[in-house]
């Protein structure tokens, strides 16, 4: 099917998906990070991880632009236009995740509330036409009921400068363990 066959609205979705995939490929194959770009991006990644662990969801959401997305593919090679994912969130669904984490009837993520810790490895970042591209390895620990859930992976993040400083426009979580299977990840964001 050629791109011209799509209505503009559909094409925009496909373009967004292609751009996300290309962004991940770029980050994984990039040379050593750029010092200035890393200095701008690293504090945002650190804050994002810390705020979500602290359940400071308002401040956490403020780190994302209105057009931001979160993509969690089931395999690092996947494409968002072709493969089922664990999650592909727009900003609205991100805010629903935040709301859900506080809902006392969200049985799987409340009473007891989950204790999570996101541990980030060193950040590498590069300047992009618009903003920056950043990546780091990370480990996630989730403790609630039953055995702790420990996941390791890598995140790839796109950032853009705004009046309020650098903000996240896209976050991709690559978690190899998803290929084997995990307990439910209702808490992931």
Per DSSP, 128 falls in state: -
Within 10 A of 110 (CB to CB), how many other CB atoms are there? 16
Q: Which is nearer to another protein, 111 or 119 (CB)?
A: 111
- Tell me: does residue 84 bind another protein (CB under 8 A): yes
Inter-residue contact 187 to 68 (CB < 8 Å):
no
Q: Which is nearer to another protein, 8 or 32 (CB)?
A: 8
Inter-residue contact 173 to 157 (CB < 8 Å):
no
Q: Which is nearer to another protein, 33 or 80 (CB)?
A: 80
Cα(155)–Cα(135) distance, integer angstroms: 6
Cα(162)–Cα(173) distance, integer angstroms: 23
Q: List the one residue from 74, 115, 127, 130 that touches another protein (CB under 8 A).
A: 74
- Tell me: does residue 137 bind another protein (CB under 8 A): no
- Tell me: does residue 117 bind another protein (CB under 8 A): no
CB of 77 to another protein, least distance (A): 9
Number of residues that bind another protein (CB under 8 A): 46
Pairing between β-strand 132-143 and β-strand 149-162 as defined by DSSP bridges: antiparallel
Number of Cα atoms under 13 Å in the Cβ half of residue 48: 27
CB of 155 to another protein, least distance (A): 18
Residues of the shown chain interacting with another protein in the complex, contacts defined by CB under 8 A: 1, 6-10, 12-14, 69, 74-75, 78, 80-81, 83-90, 92-93, 96-97, 99-100, 103, 105-109, 145-146, 178-186
């Amino acid at each position: 099917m050629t791109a011209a066959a799509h209505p503009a609205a559909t094409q925009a979705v496909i373009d967004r998906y292609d751009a996300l995939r290309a962004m991940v490929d770029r980050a994984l194959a990039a040379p050593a990070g750029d010092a200035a770009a890393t200095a701008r991006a690293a504090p945002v990644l650190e804050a994002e991880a810390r705020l979500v662990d602290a359940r400071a969801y308002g401040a956490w959401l403020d780190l994302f632009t209105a057009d931001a997305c979160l993509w969690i593919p089931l395999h690092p090679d996947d494409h968002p236009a072709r493969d089922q994912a664990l999650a592909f969130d727009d900003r609205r669904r991100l805010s629903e995740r935040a709301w859900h984490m506080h809902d006392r009837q969200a049985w799987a993520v409340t009473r007891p509330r989950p204790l999570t810790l996101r541990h980030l490895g060193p950040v590498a970042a590069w300047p992009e036409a618009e903003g920056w591209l950043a990546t780091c390895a990370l480990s996630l620990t989730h403790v609630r009921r039953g055995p702790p859930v420990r996941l390791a992976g890598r995140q790839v993040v796109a950032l853009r400068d705004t009046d309020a400083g650098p903000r996240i426009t896209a976050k991709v979580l690559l978690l190899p363990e998803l290929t084997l299977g995990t307990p439910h990840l209702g808490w992931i964001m």
